[in-house]
């Protein structure tokens, strides 16, 4: 009885009320579409993160891992989002820094201050990510 009354009320109402009602239905469908697409996107990001961690745990040489992700020759490395993008950008920055400061050796006692600074930056970046 309640739904039939509501349906009859909407149909017997004026054009403005009918337009508002139809707009609300369309916006509701649009909002649900956005919600479902975001859920699917988050699931995909989670799968890509798991895939990244699997490759990260298996590979002992970070340079090889970076080459695999940055060159993307292997189809499993084609994604450049999420953790993969963060890893590539961080490793690129490490390469730039070591290239700019030739002879950088963190085992050297003179480089310990630089090492501490780099570790602090990496820790802050990890907390933000």
- Residue corresponding to tokens 């006692």: 109
Q: Using pLDDT thresholds of 50, 70 and 90, give the confidence band for residue 24.
A: very high
38-46 — which CB contacts under 8 Å span 24+ positions?
A: 45/81, 45/82
CA–CA distance, 47 with 16 (Å, rounded to integer): 47
Helix and strand numbers, DSSP H then E, in the chain: 5, 0
Instruction: Supply the angle between the helices 82-100 and 112-128 in degrees, to the nearest 10.
Output: 160
Q: Kindly report, residue by residue over 47-97, the tens digit of the pLDDT.
A: 888 888 887 888 777 777 777 777 665 555 555 677 777 888 888 877 777
What's the mean pLDDT when you consider all of the chain? 77
Contacts of 61 (CB under 8 A, 6+ apart): none
pTM over the 0.75 mark: no
């Amino acid at each position: 009885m309640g739904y039939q009354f509501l349906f009859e009320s909407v149909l017997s109402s004026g054009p403005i009320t009918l337009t508002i009602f139809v707009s609300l239905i369309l916006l509701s469908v649009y909002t649900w579409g956005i919600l479902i697409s975001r859920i699917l996107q988050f699931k995909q990001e989670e799968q890509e993160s798991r895939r990244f961690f699997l490759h990260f745990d298996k590979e002992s040489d970070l340079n090889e891992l970076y080459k695999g992700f940055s060159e993307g020759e292997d189809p499993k490395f084609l994604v450049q989002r999420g953790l993969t993008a963060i890893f590539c950008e961080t490793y690129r920055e490490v390469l730039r820094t070591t290239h700019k400061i030739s002879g950088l050796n963190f085992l050297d006692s003179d480089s310990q201050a630089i090492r501490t600074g780099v570790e602090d930056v990496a820790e802050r970046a990890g907390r933000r990510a």
